[in-house]
Protein backbone atom coordinates (compact mmCIF):
# COMPACT_ATOMS: atom_id res chain seq x y z
CA UNK A 1 0.00 0.00 0.00
CA UNK A 2 2.85 2.39 0.84
CA UNK A 3 4.39 1.91 -2.59
CA UNK A 4 1.08 2.56 -4.31
CA UNK A 5 0.63 5.79 -2.35
CA UNK A 6 4.21 6.82 -3.19
CA UNK A 7 3.58 6.08 -6.87
CA UNK A 8 0.35 8.10 -6.85
CA UNK A 9 2.04 11.02 -5.08
CA UNK A 10 4.90 10.96 -7.59
CA UNK A 11 2.45 10.83 -10.50
CA UNK A 12 0.48 13.76 -9.04
CA UNK A 13 3.72 15.72 -8.63
CA UNK A 14 4.70 14.96 -12.24
CA UNK A 15 1.30 16.01 -13.56
CA UNK A 16 1.58 19.23 -11.55
CA UNK A 17 4.98 19.95 -13.09
CA UNK A 18 3.61 19.41 -16.59
CA UNK A 19 0.42 21.45 -16.01
CA UNK A 20 2.43 24.34 -14.51
CA UNK A 21 4.96 24.04 -17.39
CA UNK A 22 7.78 23.62 -14.86
CA UNK A 23 9.24 20.66 -16.74
CA UNK A 24 10.09 23.13 -19.50
CA UNK A 25 13.76 24.19 -19.11
CA UNK A 26 13.11 27.40 -21.08
CA UNK A 27 10.49 28.46 -18.49
CA UNK A 28 12.92 27.82 -15.63
CA UNK A 29 15.77 29.67 -17.33
CA UNK A 30 13.43 32.62 -18.02
CA UNK A 31 12.64 32.74 -14.29
CA UNK A 32 16.34 32.80 -13.44
CA UNK A 33 16.98 35.61 -15.98
CA UNK A 34 16.09 38.47 -13.61
CA UNK A 35 17.96 41.08 -15.67
CA UNK A 36 16.46 40.07 -19.02
CA UNK A 37 13.01 38.88 -20.02
CA UNK A 38 12.08 37.70 -16.51
CA UNK A 39 9.19 35.23 -16.17
CA UNK A 40 7.77 35.35 -12.63
CA UNK A 41 5.46 32.33 -13.12
CA UNK A 42 7.86 29.84 -11.49
CA UNK A 43 7.96 32.01 -8.38
CA UNK A 44 4.16 31.97 -8.24
CA UNK A 45 4.14 28.18 -8.61
CA UNK A 46 6.68 27.90 -5.78
CA UNK A 47 4.60 30.09 -3.46
CA UNK A 48 1.49 28.12 -4.40
CA UNK A 49 3.29 24.88 -3.52
CA UNK A 50 4.91 26.11 -0.31
CA UNK A 51 1.66 27.04 1.42
CA UNK A 52 -0.02 23.60 1.32
CA UNK A 53 3.34 21.90 1.81
CA UNK A 54 4.05 23.95 4.94
CA UNK A 55 0.59 23.21 6.33
CA UNK A 56 0.98 19.47 5.63
CA UNK A 57 4.45 19.42 7.23
CA UNK A 58 3.11 21.12 10.37
CA UNK A 59 0.31 18.55 10.52
CA UNK A 60 2.72 15.62 10.12
CA UNK A 61 5.03 16.93 12.86
CA UNK A 62 2.13 16.87 15.34
CA UNK A 63 1.25 13.24 14.58
CA UNK A 64 2.56 10.43 16.74
CA UNK A 65 2.52 7.86 13.94
CA UNK A 66 2.22 7.85 10.14
CA UNK A 67 -1.03 7.27 8.25
CA UNK A 68 0.42 4.15 6.64
CA UNK A 69 2.50 1.43 8.30
CA UNK A 70 6.11 2.31 8.92
CA UNK A 71 7.87 5.08 10.76
CA UNK A 72 7.92 8.83 10.34
CA UNK A 73 11.25 10.00 8.93
CA UNK A 74 11.52 13.69 9.74
CA UNK A 75 14.74 15.68 9.39
CA UNK A 76 16.73 16.04 12.58
CA UNK A 77 19.49 18.34 11.30
CA UNK A 78 18.63 21.97 12.10
CA UNK A 79 21.91 23.75 11.43
CA UNK A 80 23.37 25.12 8.24
CA UNK A 81 26.72 23.47 7.60
CA UNK A 82 29.29 23.14 4.83
CA UNK A 83 27.64 20.01 3.40
CA UNK A 84 24.28 21.76 3.10
CA UNK A 85 25.79 24.87 1.51
CA UNK A 86 27.95 22.92 -0.95
CA UNK A 87 25.00 20.71 -1.93
CA UNK A 88 22.79 23.76 -2.44
CA UNK A 89 25.49 25.41 -4.54
CA UNK A 90 25.92 22.34 -6.77
CA UNK A 91 22.13 22.08 -7.15
CA UNK A 92 21.84 25.79 -7.99
CA UNK A 93 24.62 25.72 -10.56
CA UNK A 94 23.12 22.67 -12.27
CA UNK A 95 19.65 24.21 -12.22
CA UNK A 96 20.93 27.51 -13.58
CA UNK A 97 22.97 25.90 -16.38
CA UNK A 98 20.38 23.40 -17.56
CA UNK A 99 17.03 24.72 -16.34
CA UNK A 100 16.26 21.24 -14.99
CA UNK A 101 16.21 19.86 -11.47
CA UNK A 102 15.61 16.24 -10.39
CA UNK A 103 11.78 16.25 -10.41
CA UNK A 104 11.36 17.66 -13.92
CA UNK A 105 14.27 15.50 -15.13
CA UNK A 106 12.29 12.37 -14.28
CA UNK A 107 9.19 13.83 -15.97
CA UNK A 108 11.22 14.71 -19.08
CA UNK A 109 12.65 11.18 -19.30
CA UNK A 110 9.25 10.11 -20.58
CA UNK A 111 9.61 12.47 -23.54
CA UNK A 112 12.93 11.02 -24.68
CA UNK A 113 14.35 14.55 -24.69
CA UNK A 114 18.15 14.20 -25.17
CA UNK A 115 18.85 17.01 -22.69
CA UNK A 116 16.84 15.15 -20.04
CA UNK A 117 18.73 11.93 -20.72
CA UNK A 118 22.08 13.70 -20.32
CA UNK A 119 20.93 15.47 -17.16
CA UNK A 120 19.53 12.27 -15.66
CA UNK A 121 22.76 10.36 -16.39
CA UNK A 122 24.81 13.17 -14.81
CA UNK A 123 22.48 13.25 -11.80
CA UNK A 124 22.79 9.49 -11.25
CA UNK A 125 26.59 9.73 -11.60
CA UNK A 126 26.67 12.51 -9.01
CA UNK A 127 24.50 10.50 -6.63
CA UNK A 128 26.73 7.44 -7.02
CA UNK A 129 29.84 9.58 -6.44
CA UNK A 130 28.28 11.06 -3.30
CA UNK A 131 27.38 7.60 -1.95
CA UNK A 132 30.92 6.36 -2.63
CA UNK A 133 32.48 9.42 -1.00
CA UNK A 134 30.17 9.15 2.01
CA UNK A 135 30.95 5.45 2.53
CA UNK A 136 34.68 6.14 2.24
CA UNK A 137 34.47 8.92 4.82
CA UNK A 138 32.50 6.72 7.23
CA UNK A 139 35.07 3.93 6.93
CA UNK A 140 37.91 6.33 7.63
CA UNK A 141 36.05 7.87 10.55
CA UNK A 142 36.28 11.32 8.97
CA UNK A 143 32.63 12.15 9.61
CA UNK A 144 31.79 13.59 13.03
CA UNK A 145 29.82 11.18 15.19
CA UNK A 146 26.74 13.46 15.10
CA UNK A 147 26.49 12.84 11.34
CA UNK A 148 27.62 9.23 11.20
CA UNK A 149 24.14 7.86 11.86
CA UNK A 150 22.41 10.02 9.26
CA UNK A 151 21.49 8.71 5.85
CA UNK A 152 23.53 10.11 2.94
pLDDT tens digits, residue range 137-150?
667 665 554 444 44
Among 19, 21, 46, 30, CA closest to 99: 30
Query: Are 63 and 72 contacting, i.e. CB atoms less than 8 angstroms apart?
Result: yes
Domain residue ranges in the chain = 1-74, 78-152
Q: What mean pLDDT value characterizes the chain?
A: 83
pTM score, two decimals? Answer: 0.66
Q: What does the pLDDT read at residue 148?
A: 43
Q: What does the pLDDT read at residue 85?
A: 93
Mean pLDDT, residues 79-94 taken together: 89
Amino acid sequence: MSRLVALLCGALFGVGLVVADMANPARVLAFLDVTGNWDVSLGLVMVGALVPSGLAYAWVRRRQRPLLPGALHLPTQRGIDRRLLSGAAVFGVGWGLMGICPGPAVVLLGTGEPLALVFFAAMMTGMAFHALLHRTRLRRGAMPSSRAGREP
